Structure 1
């Protein structure tokens, strides 16, 4: 039996990325992922924009409209994807729960830019018996999971210090990488603001800030989106250097080795080990994780409760800058 899926929000991650990508075989949106995966039926889409609804009808099957109540009644989805703008997440989730009984809701990150609203969303899903996940999708990517395995097995040895570059706001985009680093290094324990930086899009800060995790310390540095987007992590361990580049499409490990020219020095190897990634199919990997959960398995997706704890730290940083 296929699980029925409704997508609320037909913008870039909802549908649009795959309509503009020139990369063969890539799966970059929820619409393409759930229409491709054999375990799901893409049963409908919701968006207030008529042009987006027309595009959905041109590329995908199923009901499409602008009203969540009607969508829930017409499609009776098992899984609802909330990919609307962040300011609409709370309303969309409450309407979803009021007019249907989905088993799973996947909400795009961040849950909200307001902690009280985010907490209400988590509690509402809990009360409704609906599992809430937040779409920090890099944490299900095989290369990222291999990094986690190496850190937990001590193949990448602490102490770990690092630098992360981000653009377009700490909460909107930097949170992808703080969440990933929590997967690798454990929960955030503290922070220290180095430079308050500017505000992006009216309420999202772009500070330079040092985050302390269980297994190490990573300094987040804000780039300038107007110049170019930049998302990169570099971690220095006691036995080498990990580079997570181009938003995660390239991951390399340089082991520490004895310098061939001098017995007195240890240096990084000139030969990178490339860690296999699947960053061009992240939404499909998310769909597979949802199927695992629905079958009673353990998923690597970020729970609503975990996302709420992460958001709390980022909002503390915003308040302190």
Structure 2
């Protein structure tokens, strides 16, 4: 069984500390996902903060700690490296890895980059490299979300007509997941129009949260409503079909499937009736599944479930939303 060496750059929440939260399913961080995988040897991690090195040492004491990416790469040959730094640092970190190592896979947190200009630079540089960049749009690795895609594609519930979204924490952060899931399930968002702005904790990261209307193709209309996460955290999606409905709740931990049946109160009308419910979907740890996929990519037996284009497409929506807001809520095309 082949063994691969891994490293993590950036030991914040997704890089390390999510696995200190007893309510989260393990692994919820890149560090522990690598540490627990039988074909991965986690050899090193880096963060500018020495305090994070202490936390790392308490969780995985055998892993080398460095305060810079150059120092890490000078001391280790890495097969997979995770970039879990703030998004503003992603492009220079990826560029440094490409120039100064023989790393085979860069596994990068979302948003991959902060602008379409950075995305164009990155795509060009990757064409001259043997290194594969895999963005972590984590729900791509969740089997429950894959089943939603399969049900949408099957046509079992008829034609998709409307989408309702309720979310907190920014169009760059949570928005990356929303836009990716919708295009994965139904196709790209073509038009957006901001209706208003809501204050959330993501504002401190320059990540605004908008309530907005949108369209997917000619036949699907959508509405996304932002909520203040200081009151409560939300990530919910309702897909309305001509013959049913799919509801995603509790940040994707629960999915309910509904069919159309005779209304129990009013003759001559139909209503939505619960067909089945799937719960605890996040116990199927996304990061563990992602690392499985990366190992199989290195072994040549799978393709990555998420590509650079999957991660760049949400940026078109983000920039269309920003234009709509800055132009006093005009309707904007998310042209690609």
TM-score calculated relative to the size of structure 2? 0.89
* C-alpha deviation, 1:196, in angstroms: 4.6
Output the CA distance in 2 between the equivalents of 1:315 and 1:117: 13
Q: Does residue 259 in structure 1 map to residue 263 in structure 2?
A: yes
Cα deviation code 1:222-278 (max 9, x no counterpart):
101221211111111111121101110111112111124554111111x45113553
Question: Residues 1-321 of structure 1: matches in 2 within 5 Å?
Answer: 1-23=2-24, 26-60=26-60, 61-197=62-198, 200-201=203-204, 203-214=206-217, 216-269=220-273, 271-275=274-278, 278-280=281-283, 281-299=285-303, 301-321=305-325
SS at match of 1:121: helix
Output the CA distance in 1 between the equivalents of 2:264 and 2:205: 53
Greater shift in the superposed pair: 10-19 or 169-178: 169-178
* C-alpha deviation, 1:288, in angstroms: 1.2
Partner of 2:328: none
Greater shift in the superposed pair: 68-77 or 206-215: 206-215
* C-alpha deviation, 1:197, in angstroms: 4.7
Structure 1: segments with no counterpart, 5+ residues: none
Output the CA distance in 1 between the equivalents of 2:214 and 2:314: 12
* C-alpha deviation, 1:185, in angstroms: 0.7
Contact kept, 8 Å, 1:137 with 1:301, in 2: the verdict is no
Output the CA distance in 1 between the equivalents of 2:279 and 2:299: 27
Structure 2: segments with no counterpart, 5+ residues: 326-336
Output the CA distance in 2 between the equivalents of 1:188 and 1:297: 32
Contact kept, 8 Å, 2:294 with 2:304, in 1: the verdict is no
* C-alpha deviation, 1:186, in angstroms: 1.4
Greater shift in the superposed pair: 121-130 or 69-78: 121-130
Output the CA distance in 2 between the equivalents of 1:212 and 1:292: 36
* C-alpha deviation, 1:8, in angstroms: 0.4
Output the CA distance in 2 between the equivalents of 1:7 and 1:54: 15
Partner of 2:331: none
Output the CA distance in 2 between the equivalents of 1:297 and 1:187: 29
In the alignment of these two chains, the number of paired residues is: 319
